[in-house]
Amino acid sequence: MDLKTDPKLEDFRADVRAFFENEFPKDILAKTAKGASLTTEEVRKSETALGSKGWLAAGWPAEHGGPGWSLEEQYVFDEELERAGVPTVTPMGVVYVGPIIYTFGTEEQKQRWLPGIREGREGWAQGYSEPEAGSDLASLQFSAVKEGDEYVLNGTKIWTSAAQHADWIFCLARTDNSGKKQEGISFIIAEMDRPGITVTPIITIDGKHALNQVHFDNVRVPADYLIGEEGKGWTYSQYLLGHERTSYARIGGKRKQLAHIRKIASSVPDGGNHRLIDDPSFARKLAEADLAVDGLEMTVLRVLSAVKDGGAPGKEASIVKILATETAQQITTLYLDTAGFNAQRGFADSVSPDWLEGGMATSHAAPGVSTYFGTRAQSIYGGTNEIQHNIIAKRVLGL
The per-residue pLDDT for range 115-146, each reduced to its tens digit, is 999 999 999 999 999 998 877 778 899 999 99
Cα(323)–Cα(336) distance, integer angstroms: 21
Q: Is the pLDDT of residue 358 over 70?
A: no
Residues 294 and 366 in one domain: yes
Residues 148 and 66 in one domain: no
Residues 83 and 154 in one domain: no
Q: What are φ and ψ of residue 225, in 5° steps?
A: -85, -5
* CA quadruple 253, 254, 257, 258: dihedral, nearest 10: -140
Number of structural domains found in the chain:
3
Say if CB 292 and CB 334 are below 8 A apart: no
Half-sphere exposure of 282 (CA within 13 A, CB side): 22
Residues 218 and 265 in one domain: no
The answer to whether residue 355 sits within a structural domain is: yes
The answer to whether residue 270 sits within a structural domain is: yes
Can you say whether residue 61 is alpha, beta or left, with left for phi > 0 and alpha for psi between -120 and 50 degrees?
beta
Residues 45 and 16 in one domain: yes
What's 217's DSSP letter? E
The answer to whether residue 149 sits within a structural domain is: yes
Last residue of a domain, one of 89, 108, 136: 89
Quick one: pLDDT band at residue 190, thresholds 50, 70, 90?
very high
CATH assignment of the domain containing 354: 1.20.140.10
Quick one: pLDDT band at residue 1, thresholds 50, 70, 90?
low
Q: Is the pLDDT of residue 294 over 60?
A: yes
The answer to whether residue 56 sits within a structural domain is: yes
Quick one: pLDDT band at residue 36, thresholds 50, 70, 90?
confident
Residues 264 and 393 in one domain: yes
Residues 272 and 222 in one domain: no
* CA quadruple 115, 310, 379, 323: dihedral, nearest 10: -130
pLDDT in tens, 303-336: 777 666 655 555 677 788 889 999 999 999 999 9
Q: What are φ and ψ of residue 303, in 5° steps?
A: -65, -45
Q: What is the residue range of 12's domain? A: 7-89
Residues 181 and 145 in one domain: yes
Say if CB 377 and CB 205 are below 8 A apart: no
Residues 178 and 268 in one domain: no
Quick one: pLDDT band at residue 24, thresholds 50, 70, 90?
very high
Q: Is the pLDDT of residue 245 over 60?
A: no
Quick one: pLDDT band at residue 386, thresholds 50, 70, 90?
confident
